[in-house]
Structure 1
Amino acid sequence: MNADAIIETRNVSKRFAGFKALHDVSVKIRPGMLTSIIGPNGAGKSTFFNMLSGAFAPNDGQIIFMGQDITGMRPHEFAHTGIAKSFQITNLFPNFTALENVRIALQAHVSRYGLWRRRSALHGLSEQAAAVLKTVGLTDRAHHLARELAHGQQRALEIGVALAGQPKLLLMDEPTAGMSPEETKVMMALIRKLVEERTVVLVEHKMKMVMGISDRIVVLHHGELIAEGTPDDIRANDLVKRVYLGQGDH
């Protein structure tokens, strides 16, 4: 594995019916850090995010994860390598409890290795699910139905579901979308906690949050990489100021 990258894109490009969404983008995501992908609308950040998760395959270039070329793998194969994606829209069973949602996700990962094992043989899943809920701050909501949870709690639960596979890389798509300021603060604290044990990449529009929480920032514009570095590097970058930061907070 390249010591300075857990995942990297090498000259990746993506086209949709002639439209060039990404062009020749090379980025190294450093392990154990929180990296945010930013850019104006149409910059290509969602396309880039979807390539990192396996939803889109690049037309050109390579994606390398922990030294392995995973270019063109299907999304479920990406998940098996140690990459998990937390969706912008909650991806939960609304009529199951928080504990049951995480337990189902855990069972899906365990069952991969023994599809025909009896459920009774899958020991400790409830205890593991409870531990995941503790991580995402939902211990006191374990027996509440997912649909009964507040929006921010649903997002936290969805992250818990993503954590069930013990990913080395967690991809988060606008984790604070639709949240109140108080919910946003809670989510930011959770994200920083998650980075203590894994690498996190997020797409986020809220610039104050990005600048306050990120270790590294990748800036895209018109499908091209225009800057990357620490928040201070990005604040000081004249090109970024012109194309993005000058538009104000979002």
Structure 2
Amino acid sequence: MAGWNDVPHLDEKTKRDLLESTPPHLRDARSKGYPVLGSGLVYPVDEETIKVAPFALPDSWPRIVGIDFGWDHPTALVWLAWDRDNDIVYVYDCLKISEQTPVQQAPDILARGDWIPVAWPHDGLQTEKGSGEQLAQQYRDAKINMLWERAQFEETGTQDETKVSRSSVEAGLMDILKRMQTGKWKVFNHLNDWFHEFRLYHRKDGKIVKTNDDALDASRYGTMMLRYAATPPVPTTRIDPRQRKYDWRAG
């Protein structure tokens, strides 16, 4: 993709004039080179409204990781922080890894917080032919803090009412879309892999096109299990000495 900033002969005034003369729904496509998918977009939201500059996350905001398993297509992990007071979810980190086993992936995951729970999809229950061990268990064996059940919404009502809806893809998509539309879903603006998928995520004939969607699937799994997000066991920031007479890490 190439945009106006990649064209040296366009000065700032020309760019402004061109932008003003371009219909709003085509501005990103023409100025930044983003593909136009029109009504087929799963998340028809201006990405500028969900972008935020990275900042230090408060220790009081619980965290969770969503993982989408892969091999030839990447394994994707997305880290979420939840501002519970305002019910805003922040995507603050994203990692995509190809052709690596759970043991090989573990150092990169653990380095981001070995205490953070990991939400995983139903294919984590699949067993490897050689060892007979479930995929989710292979991550546990690598010291990854996998949740004890696969990603699904909290049970409500009767068992018959929730049997299908607890793992509904559409319900997960609508939950995130509603958050985006109401200012309750934010993404750190440097996460290029995440935004690349966001721009291309679309439907064809009403069905999700299942290509290049690993990070977005991981985001959905994490959001479905947001109730299990956890705060750090040891604060990562020093306590204001005017409020506390000691550093929590030092006891």
The question of a shared fold, defined as TM-score above 0.5 by the shorter chain, is answered with no
Find the structure with the greater CA-based Rg: 2
What's the TM-score, normalizing by structure 1? 0.26
> Which structure: greater strand fraction?
1
